[in-house]
Chains A and B, each alone.
Chain A
Amino acid sequence: MLAHQGHACHVDSLRRLPFTVALENFCRTRVSYGARNQGESQMRVEREQPTLGVTPNPRWVFLSEVVSMTVVSRGFGGRFRRPNGEVTPPGQYVVDDFPVLTAGPTPSVTLDEWDFSIVDETGSLAAHWTWDDFLTLPTESPVVDIHCVTKWSKLRTRWEGVSVDTLLDGVESSADFVLAVADGGYTANFPLADLTGGRAWVVYGYEGEELDPEHGGPARLLVPHLYFWKSAKWIRGLMLRNEDEPGFWETLGYHNYGDPWREQRYWGD
């Protein structure tokens, strides 16, 4: 939240003061800054910050409720600052390589075995494609930024695949939610509205090449506006649901929705 403000607050000198005094000075600096430049929304966000277990001076109680208690780490300068105008979600840093993160072994599925199913909320098979069928669907080539919950972001990645709008075309459903199902038992859940409207794809190409199994090949989901764990690797189908059902990481402490711009990494964020 404070990452791009270019704001100096002389904390090296504050560190030498008794802690509560330093804290008060720190708060005062921050709130005057916040009031001048940030407005109400910033204050609302920072209200969720910890209060350090320090009993504040009564004069500053109101400040402790609205001001970040962020401590400054002596001697930390920061090496990965981004050029002006290049914006990433809070807490993210940009990488050039493409890290791999999976919970279990990479499944092996042959293209002969591969298929893709859409099951509607009544449990009926609503659509089905073999690999060859899938390749005949209209393709799109989205270029998007992706954001992993482990903090890396990768900018301007180019993919090739089929829009989920195309896959759902002709599927009769009144479902509000969807569960993406992948080889290896992995699942990820969404409001259906997050996979439609040109915001999600099932992709099989990356930067002009076939999608590598490490990165989810033969095909993975791509939902770039949510943290990347939502973009399920090795996807095999979509299950439409009337009720939301948390997926794999969503039951293991990670946020149910996962908006990187609101830094929804974990339960309670």
Chain B
Amino acid sequence: MRWLVATVAETIPETATATTLRLDVPSWPGHRPGQHVDVRLTSSDGYQAQRSYSIASPPGTEWLDLTVVRLTDGEVSPYLATVAGVGDQFELRGPIGGWFVWDEEDPAPVLMVGGGSGVVPLMAMMRHHAQSGSAVPVRLVYSARELQDVMFRDELESLADSTLRVVTVTLTRERSSEWSGRRGRIDREMLNEFGWPPNAGPKCFVCGATPFVEAVSSALVALGHDPTSIKLERFGPTGQ
């Protein structure tokens, strides 16, 4: 798979630690929602570092959006999230991954469960769902720490409706009483209330840090969902 040169066209702050890099990538071959890219940075003395990042933009847009969370001890994410500016260049290749992908031809209802930055590949699916005019009902359950950590908040509100795209945001550490939505970690009860019943035969996409993914996937299996219908993607310090 070839390395392509990406040029930063725009940087969009999402939260205090997350930035969307809007990239111009000539000869980008296109992607499916949920896939990721490998990014390769090269320093002026030839040292290189590679990491993987999920694609946030849906297929068919002019730009490729990567939403990157700056990890304190990271090597690549601090550069992408705070240093890279308009006109800066790095290499990437992709799209990568044929598993954690939503297929718009699949008539099964969709449950997406995201923790923190795990919402990024799910956002590509949500955006594609909206743009493609899909009639498949989608439910997104998204957990963040505090309100200020919720990514794509305005866009999620505009994408959400009461039937086709139902979005539930839960905050695990929000102290303010202004938040009238759900609080607490995503558990079996919350998945039962805001997800699909197993007999609806949903496709489940779970993305987040490893403990989150383990807990949610175990809860889904315990609720009776078919393990083969549950697709996992993990984020974490090694996924910088």
Contact = CB atoms under 8 A, between A and B. Distances in A.
A76 B48 CA distance: 9
A269 B50 CA distance: 15
A151 B51 contact: yes
Contact of B238 (A49, A77, A151, A269): A151
Given A104-B217, A106-B218, A214-B214, A7 B46 contact: yes
Given A71-B5, A91-B40, A105 B230 contact: yes
Contacts of B38: 151, 265
A80 B75 contact: yes
A49 B91 CA distance: 11
A185 B231 CA distance: 13
A3 B46 contact: yes
A125 interface: no
A69 B217 CA distance: 42
A6 B45 contact: yes
A198 interface: no
Nearest to A79: B75
A12 B47 contact: no
A73 B43 CA distance: 6
A87 to B, nearest CB: 14
A72 interface: yes
A7 B45 CA distance: 5
B42 interface: yes
B164 interface: no
Contacts of B2: 48-50
Contacts of A10: 44
Contacts of A105: 217-218, 220-221, 227, 230, 232
A252 B1 contact: no
A161 B1 CA distance: 36
B3 A150 contact: no
Given A76-B42, A95-B238, A185-B228, A266 B217 contact: no
Interface of A: 1-12, 48-50, 52-53, 69-81, 91, 93, 95, 97, 99-107, 148, 150-152, 184-185, 214, 249, 251-253, 265-269
Given A6-B45, A252-B97, A266-B96, 7 more contacts: A71-B42, A76-B41, A76-B43, A78-B48, A104-B231, A106-B218, A150-B239
20 contacts: A6-B46, A10-B44, A50-B2, A50-B3, A52-B5, A70-B91, A71-B90, A71-B91, A76-B79, A78-B49, A78-B75, A79-B75, A91-B40, A93-B49, A99-B234, A105-B218, A105-B221, A151-B38, A151-B52, A184-B228
Interface of B: 1-5, 26-27, 38, 40-52, 75, 79, 83-84, 88-91, 93, 96-100, 210, 214, 217-218, 220-221, 227-228, 230-232, 234, 236-239
